[in-house]
A and B are shown apart, each in its own frame.
Chain A
Amino acid sequence: GEEVAQTPKHLVRGEGQKAKLYCAPIKGHSYVFWYQQVLKNEFKFLISFQNENVFDETGMPKERFSAKCLPNSPCSLEIQATKLEDSAVYFCASSQSDAGSGYTFGSGTRLTVV
């Protein structure tokens, strides 16, 4: 399809619980990006993939965050032992190349940690 599909739309977790978010990129797009949007529209880069390979993971808090993009499966972002400050909207985006034509974003997953 021509949209980036993110599931679930909303996710509520108690502090310390695990959260797993999914992203199906547009078919044919070889790059996938994860961003975290907190208050006041601030977007923070987390990680990017080129196909199933990690391209750039400099934004990932490695102790608790992990991500994968495996062939023939949605990409995933997993947070172990969630903290209150992980509450945010997590956006996935995909692009055909290195994004000169612009990324296509999904609608996001709103994670609320209580």
Chain B
Amino acid sequence: EDQVTQSPEALRLQEGESSSLNCSYTVSGLRGLFWYRQDPGKGPEFLFTLYSAGEEKEKERLKATLTKKESFLHITAPKPEDSATYLCAVQRDSNYQLIWGAGTKLIIKP
């Protein structure tokens, strides 16, 4: 069964304290892996798409990496405005559905 598992469920960091979020997946055929950020009361905001193992993408303090079984979202020197829920989703190559993880709630304390 296709599945996406994110860990940890919640992560509290001090401002400037770097860390990583994990997204483990099993999917019959991977078209792409997506990272989104969701703020309370809003829709998910697209961050990255990764297509193949070894690929990396960066945006400001965020860097996403991909292996055949998992993806990491590394956050370097985070600021309070990085506080949000970070969602990972995989897209099957048989259709365009996204299979979502439950998210990691990230809280950055000043």
Contacts and interface: CB of A to CB of B under 8 A. Distances in A.
Interface string B70-110: 00000000000000010101010001111110110000000
Nearest to A42: B102
A102 B31 CA distance: 12
Interface stretch (B12-20, B21-29, B42-50, B60-68): B42-50
A45 interface: yes
A41 B102 contact: yes
Interface stretch (A61-69, A71-79, A105-113): A105-113
A35 B66 CA distance: 25
A104 interface: yes
A43 B100 contact: yes
Bin the interface of chain B by size.
20 to 34
Contact of A41 (B51, B85, B97): B85
Given A4-B43, A91-B43, A107-B42, A102 B34 contact: yes
A48 interface: yes
A103 B46 contact: yes
A108 B62 CA distance: 26
Contact of B102 (A4, A40, A56, A105): A40
Contacts of A58: 95, 97
B97 A101 contact: no
Interface of A: 4, 31, 33, 35, 40-43, 45, 48, 55-56, 58-59, 91, 93, 98-108
Interface of B: 31-32, 34, 36, 38, 41-49, 51, 85, 87, 89, 91, 95-100, 102-103
